[in-house]
Amino acid sequence: MSRIPRNIKPHRLIKFLEKPGFVKGKGRGSHVRLTHPDGRWTQVAVHPGP
């Protein structure tokens, strides 16, 4: 997988990860956990930023 720029907006990153099959799961506070059917998972921080 290619490297993702650090200045990408969280909601855009989540949309990008949903295309290959990641699904939004439980979130806690300002973080969203995305899981893939094959067992992989990642967390995205959804903080308000500049």
Domain ranges in the chain are: 10-45
Report whether pLDDT(15) > 60: yes
pLDDT at res. 41: 94
Q: Which residue has the tokens 């993702």?
A: 4
State how far the alpha carbon of 28 is from the alpha carbons of 2, 7, 31, 35, 38, in Å. Answer: 27, 22, 6, 14, 22
Report whether pLDDT(2) > 90: no
Question: For 17-50, how does the pLDDT look when each residue is reduced to its tens digit (9 = 90+)?
Answer: 999 999 998 877 889 999 999 999 999 988 876 6
pLDDT at res. 50: 61
Report whether pLDDT(1) > 60: no
